[in-house]
C-alpha cells in the first residue's frame, strides 16, 4: 500500500514540476513577445511548423522618421515628392524581382532608374545561374514606405527608405521545401542618391560603379560626353540630378 502511495506521489510530483516548468517558459515567452505572437507561436507548434514561419507571417513595421526628414529634404530640394520616390521603389523592386526570377538582366540593361544597381544585380544573378538556383516572387503587395535617413556629404545627397511588403516566395536552393511558395512578410531598405555637385564627389565616386553596357568595362567618366575607354562606345550622358536608387537590401532573410 505504501509502495503504491509513494509511486503515485512521485508520478504526481513529476507531473507537477513539469507543469510548473512549462508555465514558466510560456510566461517568459509571453512577456518577451506578447499575447498575439504567443498565440501564433503555439498555433505554429501545434502544426509542427517552425518559428521561422511565424516570423515570416508577422507583418513588419516600417522603420522611419518621414515627418522629421521630409521637410529637411524639401528645404534642399524644393521639388522633392515622396510619393514619386515611393513609386520608383515599387517599380524598381518589381523589376528586380522579375530579373531574379527570369535570371536575366536584358530588360533592365538600359533602364536609367536601375543604372546604379545594375552591376550588383547582374553579379547576384550570375551567382544564381552558377548555383542553378531558382527564386520566385508572386502576388507582391506593398504595405508602407517611410524615409529612414537623409544626409548630404561631398556633393551627394542620400535618402534611405524603408518599405514593408508581402509576397509568395520560393527558393530552390538545397531543395528546401520550407521555401516552396511560402507567404512572406518582409521589409526592404533602399538608398537613393542625388549628385548636386560633381566636383566635390571624392570617395563618393565609388557609388557610381557603372559598367559599359557594350563590353562590361567600368566607366570612369560621367561628363557630357560619355565614352567607354575600352571599346569606345558612346552613351547618352547620365542625368545625375535625379534621385537614383543606389542599393536595396532585404532586412529579413
Ligand atoms: Zn565598352
Q: What is the pLDDT of residue 48?
A: 54
Kindly give the distance from the C-alpha atom of residue 156 to the centroid of ligand 1, in angstroms, as a whole number.
Answer: 26
Backbone angles phi, psi at 163, to 5 degrees: -130, 130
What CATH number is given to the structural domain containing 228?
A: 3.10.450
Kindly give the distance from the C-alpha atom of residue 219 to the centroid of ligand 1, in angstroms, as a whole number.
Answer: 8
Query: What percent of the chain has a predicted confidence (pLDDT) above 90?
Result: 43
Q: What is the pLDDT of residue 185?
A: 94
Looking at the fold, whether 185 and 160 belong to one and the same domain comes out as yes
Highest mean pLDDT among 6-10, 12-16, 30-34: 12-16
Task: Give percent helix, percent strand, percent coil of the chain, each to the nearest 5.
Answer: 45, 25, 30
Looking at the fold, whether 42 and 90 belong to one and the same domain comes out as no
Cell of 26: 510560456
Please say if the pLDDT value at position 248 is more than 90.
yes
Task: Please give the residue range of the domain that contains residue 236.
Answer: 60-250
Domains of the chain: total: 2
Looking at the fold, whether 35 and 129 belong to one and the same domain comes out as no
Query: Of 54, 70, 92, which one is at a domain's C-terminal end?
Result: 54
Looking at the fold, whether 119 and 213 belong to one and the same domain comes out as yes
Cell of 115: 543604372
Looking at the fold, whether 201 and 217 belong to one and the same domain comes out as yes
Kindly give the distance from the C-alpha atom of residue 224 to the centroid of ligand 1, in angstroms, as a whole number.
Answer: 17
Looking at the fold, whether 34 and 90 belong to one and the same domain comes out as no
Kindly give the distance from the C-alpha atom of residue 235 to the centroid of ligand 1, in angstroms, as a whole number.
Answer: 10
Beta bridge partners of 49: none
Kindly give the distance from the C-alpha atom of residue 133 to the centroid of ligand 1, in angstroms, as a whole number.
Answer: 30
Number of helices (H), then strands (E), belonging to the chain: the values are 6, 6
Kindly give the distance from the C-alpha atom of residue 212 to the centroid of ligand 1, in angstroms, as a whole number.
Answer: 5
pLDDT in tens, 144-162: 999 999 999 888 999 999 9
Please say if the pLDDT value at position 139 is more than 70.
yes
- pLDDT interval class at 28 (50, 70, 90): confident
Query: Of 19, 35, 54, which one is at a domain's C-terminal end?
Result: 54
Looking at the fold, whether 101 and 132 belong to one and the same domain comes out as yes
In this prediction, residues 61-85 reach a mean pLDDT of: 94
Backbone angles phi, psi at 140, to 5 degrees: -70, 130
Query: Distance (Å, rounded) from C-alpha 241 to C-alpha 40?
Result: 48
Please say if the pLDDT value at position 46 is more than 70.
no
Surrounding ion ligand 1 within 5 Å at CB are 212, 214-215, 217, 228, 230-231, 233
Looking at the fold, whether 38 and 74 belong to one and the same domain comes out as no
Looking at the fold, whether 122 and 228 belong to one and the same domain comes out as yes
243 three-state secondary structure: coil
Looking at the fold, whether 153 and 47 belong to one and the same domain comes out as no
Kindly give the distance from the C-alpha atom of residue 91 to the centroid of ligand 1, in angstroms, as a whole number.
Answer: 28
Kindly give the distance from the C-alpha atom of residue 236 to the centroid of ligand 1, in angstroms, as a whole number.
Answer: 13
Q: What is the pLDDT of residue 239?
A: 72
Residue written as grid cell 507567404: 183
Q: What is the pLDDT of residue 200?
A: 80
Kindly give the distance from the C-alpha atom of residue 136 to the centroid of ligand 1, in angstroms, as a whole number.
Answer: 32
Looking at the fold, whether 113 and 50 belong to one and the same domain comes out as no
In this prediction, residues 38-58 reach a mean pLDDT of: 70
Kindly give the distance from the C-alpha atom of residue 155 to the centroid of ligand 1, in angstroms, as a whole number.
Answer: 27
Kindly give the distance from the C-alpha atom of residue 119 to the centroid of ligand 1, in angstroms, as a whole number.
Answer: 14
Looking at the fold, whether 45 and 127 belong to one and the same domain comes out as no
Kindly give the distance from the C-alpha atom of residue 221 to the centroid of ligand 1, in angstroms, as a whole number.
Answer: 12
Amino acid at each position: 500500500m505504501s509502495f503504491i502511495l509513494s509511486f503515485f506521489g512521485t508520478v504526481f510530483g513529476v507531473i507537477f514540476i513539469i507543469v510548473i516548468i512549462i508555465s514558466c517558459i510560456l510566461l517568459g515567452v509571453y512577456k518577451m513577445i506578447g499575447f498575439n505572437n504567443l498565440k501564433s507561436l503555439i498555433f505554429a507548434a501545434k502544426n509542427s511548423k517552425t518559428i521561422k514561419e511565424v516570423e515570416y507571417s508577422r507583418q513588419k513595421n516600417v522603420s522611419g522618421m518621414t515627418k522629421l526628414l521630409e521637410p529637411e529634404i524639401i528645404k534642399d530640394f524644393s521639388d522633392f515628392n515622396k510619393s514619386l520616390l515611393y513609386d520608383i521603389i515599387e517599380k524598381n523592386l518589381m523589376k528586380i524581382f522579375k530579373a531574379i526570377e527570369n535570371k536575366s538582366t536584358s530588360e533592365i540593361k538600359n533602364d536609367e532608374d536601375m543604372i546604379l544597381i545594375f552591376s550588383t544585380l547582374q553579379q547576384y544573378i550570375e551567382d544564381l545561374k552558377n548555383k542553378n538556383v531558382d527564386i520566385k516572387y508572386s502576388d507582391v503587395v506593398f504595405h508602407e514606405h517611410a524615409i529612414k535617413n537623409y544626409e548630404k556629404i561631398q556633393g551627394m545627397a542620400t535618402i534611405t527608405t524603408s518599405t514593408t511588403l508581402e509576397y509568395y516566395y520560393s527558393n530552390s536552393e538545397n531543395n528546401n521545401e520550407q521555401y516552396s511558395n511560402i507567404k512572406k512578410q518582409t521589409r526592404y531598405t533602399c538608398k537613393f542618391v542625388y549628385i548636386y555637385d560633381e566636383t566635390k564627389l571624392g570617395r563618393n565616386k565609388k557609388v557610381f560603379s557603372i559598367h559599359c553596357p557594350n563590353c562590361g568595362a567600368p566607366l570612369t567618366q560621367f561628363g557630357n560626353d560619355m565614352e567607354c575607354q575600352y571599346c569606345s562606345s558612346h552613351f547618352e550622358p547620365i542625368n545625375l540630378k535625379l534621385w537614383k536608387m543606389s542599393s536595396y537590401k532585404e532586412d529579413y532573410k
